[in-house]
Amino acid sequence: MKVHERQTGGGKCPTPRLDTRVLSLDESVIIREARSKEEIQDFVMLVAEYLNSLPFELDFQDVEGELANPEREYSRNSGGVALVAYVQSAPVGCIGLRRLELGIGELKRMFVVPDYRGAGIAKELCTRVLGIAREVGYEAVKLDTVAEMIEAISLYEGIGFVATGRYRLNPLPSARFFEIRL
């Protein structure tokens, strides 16, 4: 699967219960850890939608391998997790956490479909995945993004991420790197 360049157009949350598989944001949004075949397929579908929405390619990140075998990086056995947000059983958002190195995780593939943006789903996905990162023993979580992702950067900074040095290959001119200490 190749991700091609594409043009794009212009509640109080309960404390997450990390010992349960289903995490509720409110009555209409359910966040699940992707474990079943169907949940993993939903995660892959959302990541593919995210990748196809970008105005650039991420071929330097082995996206094909990642989507062909998401359990390799986004399962508890590998030090990661994939979360999927659902509204009325429809997948509307996702986020991944994977092991970067000993004691450090990496946040990847945060995405909420356009019709559900602004409802707090991305913030809740981030908050919950950081809770899981703490639970599995990470001391820090890093991420890379691009300067054009203004809303995402605002969200990251709002929950405590700070700019950090380049920690991975990202040849995009507007690449930005962030880290949060847990």
Q: Please name each of the domains of the chain with its CATH number.
A: 22-181 (3.40.630.30)
Which two three-digit tokens encode residue 37?
Answer: 């075949």
Residue 33 pairs in a beta bridge with: 83
Does the pTM exceed 0.85? no
Query: Residue 20 has what pLDDT?
Result: 34
- Give the whole-angstrom CA distance, residue 36 versus residue 68: 15
How does pLDDT run across 54-95, given as a tens digit for each residue?
765 666 566 676 777 788 888 899 999 999 999 999 999 999
Query: Residue 100 has what pLDDT?
Result: 94
Contact 105, 98 (CB under 8 A): yes
- Residue in the structure block whose two tokens are 């707090």: 120
Q: How far is residue 38 from each of residues 33, 79, 181, measured CA to CA in Å?
A: 11, 21, 33
Which two three-digit tokens encode residue 174?
Answer: 């507007």
Query: Residue 173 has what pLDDT?
Result: 81
Using DSSP, how many helices (H) and how many strands (E) does the chain show?
Answer: 4, 8
How does pLDDT run across 86-137, given as a tens digit for each residue?
999 999 999 999 999 999 999 998 999 999 998 999 999 999 999 999 999 9
